[in-house]
Amino acid sequence: MSGGASGGRLAVCPTPIGNLGDVTLRVLDVLRSADVVACEDTRRTRVLLDRHAIRAASLVSVHEHNEAARAGALVERLVEGAVVALVSDAGMPAVNDPGYVLIRAALDAGVRVEVLPGASATLVALVASGLPVDRWRFVGFLPRRSSDLLALFASGETVVAFESPRRVGASLAALASVDPERPVAVCRELTKVHEEIVRGDAASVASRFGGGEARGEIVLVIGGAGEHGAEVGPAVDALARLVEAGARTRPAAKVVAELTGVPANVLYEAVQGRG
C-alpha cells in the first residue's frame, strides 16, 4: 500500500479467472463502496457485479486503447477524494492486462494505491504444473521470433507464459525439437467447467496438442533447462560471429556444439531465427 496526500484511493482488485465464486470478500466490499469502477470491459464486469448483487455507482471502461486518455480524468477524481476500483476482465490488473498506466499516474499524483490479493492464472498454473516453484518467471505471451523463443527455452528457471490456442501446438513442437524430454504442463480453462491440465515431456505433450487448434485460455508452464541452459546464449553469439565472418552456419554450428556441449540443432535454429 502506498500513502498519499489526497483523500482518494485507487484500489486494484483482482477478479476471478473463470469461476465467479473465487472473488474475495475484500474485493466485493471495495466494489460495493467505490465511487467509480474502472474496468477493462464493462459488460464482463457487470456480470460479476450482478452475480453478487452489487450496484456500482459508476462504471468506466479503461482498456488498452483508451487507458492513457482516461487516466488523467480518473486521477483528478482520485485527487478530489474519490475511491476508484480498478479491475480487468480476469486476474490481477496490470499483469498482462490494462492498469499499469493508471496505477503509475496515481502514484505520480501522490494518490494512495491499495492492491488487494486474489485470483491469478499465473500462480494457479505454476502450482498445478507440479514443476519447481523456487525459481520461476512469468513472460506474458511467448515470443514469436524463433531466436527469442529458443533463448527462452534455454532458461534455467521454470517459465510461465500465456499462449494462444492456435499457437500452442507449434510452440510445444519447437520446444520438443530442441529438448524432447523437457517437462511441461499445459493448463487450459483454469477454474472453469472444462479445466484441463496436461503434464508430461515436451515430445508427448506436443503430440497431444499437434492435431489441431486447442480451445479456451491456455497457460503454458515449462521446466527449466538442464545443464546446458546457461550456456546457450554465449554459444549462439559465438556461432553468429563465425557466420558473420563468412563461415557456413551448419558446419560452424557443429564445431561450436563440440566446444560448448550445446546441441548443434539448437544453435543452428537460433542463428537462423536471428536472420
Q: What is the pLDDT of residues 59-72, one digit of tens each?
A: 999 999 999 999 99
Residues of the chain with pLDDT under 50: 1-4
Are 90 and 17 in contact, with CB atoms under 8 Å apart?
yes
pLDDT of residue 117: 96
pTM of the predicted model as reported, rounded to 2 decimal places: 0.80
pLDDT of residue 57: 76
pLDDT of residue 225: 84
pLDDT of residue 257: 84
pLDDT of residue 3: 44
32: cell is 460495493
pLDDT of residue 269: 74
275: cell is 536472420
Question: Cα-Cα-Cα-Cα dihedral of 78, 68, 55, 77, to 10°?
Answer: 20
- 258, burial (CB in 10 Å: exposed 0-12, middle 13-18, buried 19+): exposed
Taking each continuous run of H as one helix and of E as one strand, the counts in the chain are 11, 10
SS3 186: strand
Beta strands in the chain (DSSP E): 9-12, 36-39, 59-61, 83-87, 112-115, 136-141, 158-163, 183-188, 196-201, 218-222
pLDDT digits (tens, 9 = 90+) for 246-256: 899 999 989 98
pLDDT digits (tens, 9 = 90+) for 129-141: 999 999 999 999 9
